[in-house]
Structure 1
Amino acid sequence: MAVTWSPTQVWSAGATDAAEMVGPAGSAGPVGSAGRLGPVVRVYRRFRPLSRSARVWLHSCGVALSLAVCLTLGDWWPAPLLAAVAVVAVTGYERLRPSRGPRSVRVHEGGLVLVSAGGGEESLPWSAVEAMEYSPGGLREVHEYGRIWPAGADEPLVLAHLRGLGGLFRELEERLSPGFRAALHETLRTEGSVRFGRGRLTVTAHGLVYRPPHPLAATEAHRWTEVCSARASGLGELEIRTHSAGLPLTFPVPNARAAADFLEDLRTASPADPPSDDRPRTTALGWPPPEPAAPQGHP
């Protein structure tokens, strides 16, 4: 039976301390004690960004004020000083603006502590983190953010407007990816396959099956000898390159680095047995394909 990867299943094969699990996002007060998480490693503090339009307006006002002062004094020497004052004023205004989310996030040896605006703390041990996802943001004033799924929570914890947020999630990857990868290996061993990207990618010990999003497109099956590489992109996507496809297969999945390491483990461990050219490209999940080869059904 195939298992579809989801944030609520990835740690099913790992050990989890129920006494340290946190409740749903937004629950009042921490369940575990921050003192049990060990010493503090790093602190990530909140900032309050302005929108692009607000920045343009404030900078325009600063330029106009600088020109007016310089024209009044008949000299240009105040311009650099006024520019520095404008930068300090914008930064101070950002700090005074209200902002939702935790005031800071502390990284301990044993987990995270989220400090709210009122000073309350919520502990999140490493064993209670089921999945994480980071988005670097982009155009149209979309700021970077990250999501963390605690065990048993209906909604993820959303972290945004933290200085060094990308570094925080890189640190989380370093600490948690080995456990996520081990859980995926255990799921494959016990269930026979693992699915990613809402069932678009099915991974078995012999290869992978890709089901394109278009209902009329044919399902593709690739043995591990046909897979060139698997890696996690900077956009939090699982990127797979094969010998036959020109463009890589991409899947936005949480824990993309752990998923990529999991696929690389299977690819490198597969025997060097290049498939024959006449093998059908569309098959069922079994390896080798049955006779006759049955195409994968549409979603």
Structure 2
Amino acid sequence: MTHATGERGSTTPAHDTTPAHDTAPVASGDREKALPGLYGGASSRRLTVRDIARAKERGERWPMLTAYDAMTASVFDEAGIPVMLVGDSMGNCHLGYESTVPVTMDEMTLLSAAVVRGTSRALIVGDLPFGSYQEGPVQALRSATRLVKEAGVGAVKLEGGERSAEQISLLVQAGIPVMAHIGLTPQSVHAFGGHVVQGRGEEAAQQLLRDAKAVQDAGAFAVVLELVPAELAAEATRSLHIPTVGIGAGPDCDAQVLVWTDMAGLTKWPGRTPKFLKQYADLRGVLGDAAKAFAQDVVDGAYPAAEHSFR
């Protein structure tokens, strides 16, 4: 994904292995158990892909944020964020890499487990990093199984449309829910020639729609649309029965996702911020001011004061 892209819960979230294309009407008995809404709803259990499917049926929009550590994830969980992505964007904004490409399965597993431990309600989706599924379905299953068993995620995400359909299909058959990712796929950013909008022009638009249909048919429970023209994203959203998650894809997607450090204003941009990004805080400024205030107190001898000392 483009790096623009309380009480702690159980480490063993309840997974829902129902195929993502199973969108039959909710039975009356199940309706009583269904949550009133994904965002901010109260629940004694983790959200699952069935809750996501029901939200699509209701026409409910929902937010998704990335998370890379237990403490930040707990804040978002308490805020009611229903889905968190442990994205390979950790490479840029958490691990100090220049891109998402160097992120390893060890790193993804370690940080995904931390996010799971810091949450009790949100559906946690773990990214499959570059090189962990491109060889084919068997490699994808091995990597996804590790995230489910060792980290406890409730779903995985991988990039690619038609080219990744076989991987998605095998994972879903094995009982692992999959979120697909099409449009700009950052792991292939060098092939795209940079972070450029995808799906412009008739041929490119038709390919994106084919990719969306392919991942749905393969069993994905949702699909991320990244850097896609708004009208094309709206068309894809109307044509699919699985939810679309937009990032730089206009207002008509079923859900929206942002990299949390971008959303909260922690990211330091060398130039202007991306067009699609709305910053909801100036966390970089807040932390910087706090660090300067602490440092000045230490230099001036104001901290620690008597009330911070033991007798």
Structure with bigger gyration radius: 1
TM-score w.r.t. the length of structure 2 is 0.23
TM-score w.r.t. the length of structure 1 is 0.24
